[in-house]
Amino acid sequence: MNAKYEALSITSQFLGHRTYGQLLREYFKNSNLLGSVDFHWFMDECKSLQWLVTRPFYRKLPNSWIQQRNLDFQYFRSEFISAYITKSLLKQKLSTKSYTVMHLHTQVMAFLALEYMKKIPTVVSIDFTAALKSSEMIDNRFQWTYNPNILMEKKVFNAASRIISWSELAKKSVVEDYGINEDKVIVIPPGVNLDALKFAHHPLKKDADTCNILFIGGDFIRKGGQDLLSVFLDNFSDVATLHLVTNKPIECHHHQVRVYRNINAYTPEWKRLYQQADIFVMPTYSEGLPQVFMEAMGAGLPIISTNLPQMQEVISDGVTGFLVPPGNQNELANKLKVVIDNPELRMEMGMRGKQVSQIKFDADKNCSRIESIFQELSAI
């Protein structure tokens, strides 16, 4: 039996997780008949002095060899200090109000919250796992450096009442790598606000030189931004314009490359970039399940990305876009040429993607499933 819920939700505010938190806030603001949710970013109460003390824990050592092998343990350091900040916030909020259910996103927020999870039914939402992260290492001799993260995640997954996974890949990891009962893990993609992406259909363009290529990615290198930039400059700078949305510094002054900084989701500038775009390209090396692909599909754009397993959950190769091996610039150039040279194909792929987004990635529908879980756990 469903019950009225009083939920406390603490979410990460980094990169795409902030967009996820904003979507949750928007949905529950308009759906308050069944209960209420108090939302907080995990750093809401972080004072200046506390941030000054904890900030070094997030920094990487200035040595790429060490970084690539995780020997600075930056991944664990940053997650542990985020968990510490979250615990302080939880202690404060739970001392002033009673809740029937907690929601923590991501699992990192729960590392030091086990004592609270024993008392209050808790939903933990995830986009990736440390086990998956370690499996992506170039040098697998150093996978052990992720063991502290994996140990903490296992404790969290065991303590959670429900685990919401953004992807089937992450669910499989939770079940197989951490030994969690699969009935406890539910796949609910973050979704996208489709109403914000209701544009007039792109007119069929005949000239390749009017083609606008859009890339959105905070971590420019990891998201494949440098590969895309190199391919564009070598092959397409005379027939298209490349729009790069990232906060990372980029040394490029070509007149057909436009760089945008501090662009937040669902702002007028964000909408304009999607509306003018003809192709969305992000040839990423490592991902959870990027919301930008769902946004691009909602905007009716064909997508070119990489053939990572989680990308295949979103993009159908040859149907809604193309998938290429990570780091393969030749194949990226080939697929980009196909899409640039064929306006009809762009339109067809974009419309198919839009149909998929309406079925799988409608944020309101997906958030309503989360609300049902809050109700269910509040009745226990």
For residue 208, is pLDDT > 50?
no
pLDDT digit string, tens, across residues 305-319: 999 998 999 999 999
For residue 304, is pLDDT > 70?
yes
- Its pTM stands at 0.89
Domains and CATH numbers, the chain: 5-191+363-378 (3.40.50.2000), 194-360 (3.40.50.2000)
pLDDT digit string, tens, across residues 8-37: 999 998 888 999 999 999 999 887 668 999
Q: Quick one: average pLDDT of 354-375?
A: 95
* Rounded Cα gap, residues 309 and 214, in angstroms: 22
Give the residue, 33 or 148, on which the prediction is more confident. Answer: 148
* 8 Å CB contact between 194 and 362: yes
Half-sphere exposure of 315 (CA within 13 A, CB side): 33
pLDDT digit string, tens, across residues 233-286: 999 999 999 999 998 888 888 999 999 998 989 999 999 999 999 999 999 998
Confidence at residue 69, expressed as pLDDT on a 0 to 100 scale: 85
Share above pLDDT 70 across residues of the chain, in percent, rounded to a whole number: 93
Give residue for tokens 């440390």.
Answer: 130
For residue 295, is pLDDT > 80?
yes
pLDDT digit string, tens, across residues 59-85: 777 888 888 888 888 889 999 999 999
* 8 Å CB contact between 171 and 187: yes
